[in-house]
Amino acid sequence: MFRNGGDYRLARKLDADAAVEIKQLPREDQLQILQENIVARAHQAFEKSKKWYNLKAREIQYRPGQEVWKRNFVFSDFSRNINAKFCKRYSQCRIMRPVGKNMYGLENLHGIRLGVFHAKDLKQ
């Protein structure tokens, strides 16, 4: 006898027919089936998100002396008549040296040091 809708789902998983009498599984077995289902779905969701992430992610290694474009971080300032949406988004600079795995020391094209920036703020 089925007591709720969850029993029908369990019967389908066990390939049991509705016409055949189904024995009620012990609570431990039901929880085990539920846990296996949750683990399988979590792994499936992980694989799907990993696929989309790997389409966009790319590893880039810059060399010293290479010219790149650095993102400018400009804020609007009413007192100085600056509107951020009209400012340049990127400026050209040169890689001085790598600092760590994803950080790079930069200088502008005139040789003035700009500081250390993350690779995500750089583009070729």
**How confident is the model over 5-15, as pLDDT tens digits?**
777 777 777 76
Neighbours of 78 (CB within 10 A): 7
**How confident is the model over 68-113, as pLDDT tens digits?**
999 988 889 899 998 989 988 999 999 999 998 889 999 999 999 9
Q: Pick the closest to residue 82 from 91, 95, 72, 92 (CA basis).
A: 72
| pTM of the complete model beyond 0.85 | no
- The domain spans of the chain are 5-56, 67-123
**How confident is the model over 3-48, as pLDDT tens digits?**
777 777 777 777 665 444 445 778 888 888 889 999 999 999 999 9
Q: Pick the closest to residue 2 from 15, 21, 29 (CA basis).
A: 21
Strand partners, 67: 94
